[in-house]
Structure 1
């Protein structure tokens, strides 16, 4: 959709498309994230559709908040409690994965502490809580290899401390 992306333009465009497709009387709900502009846009759309008597219960159920977005917001807010450690782990993973030599050193450390290296270090996408969970899970699994790497690589300086691992 071409700009502008304000609430009035969004409502007009969606309403026009619903009418063009002939489905304006078949809409029960729209799932969106919790942005305030989305609430405003849905309020305008609801008014337009109610003028055509097109909504069940006058559109009381039109705007459904995206559960995945809500869960992501909750988890991201919770992760703020350990932000410093999460950043540190991201940096460590980037460091290890940043060169083939460091990857090999890390694999050697895994062998030294009797860890399988099949799981692999996972890098997260910070806006997806489940990827951060998988990153932290893999980091916890390899924490003893990280301790070993810290002893053998003078440039590996950000290994979490035992108390930071407890937070994770």
Structure 2
């Protein structure tokens, strides 16, 4: 099941058949609309940074109540400035989440997308020629996996016992 607040992106997801079911829904209203312990795993890829810190903490708490086994979060490592592409598309980054913070919240964390110093908005590479820096970024991913403080993005997971 997939949820999306921005209707044009929801339509793209439907056309791409990324999920079996789709809901036009704000992530902050999921628990209220879908209930607790409804899913084995709740996943949010590139979502939490689009909320304020307070809202993001509420999203994590809700996901932990909705999942019976695990919550998985993928987000930029720290605050990554990003504006939307068009008005009302909810693409602006309003918060940043880092390794230490996620670990304090009980999440396991690994680093992804290579070195943070190589990336800019939308994870675009800063340097040219791009073909060369794609390779450099890919190679640095092996280092960043176990050194997430240096990574462009973090993958976080928390095992839940809501049985």
Normalised by the length of structure 2, the TM-score is 0.28
Larger helix proportion of the pair: 1
Larger strand proportion of the pair: 2
Structure with greater contact order relative to length (CA < 8 Å, sep ≥ 6): 2
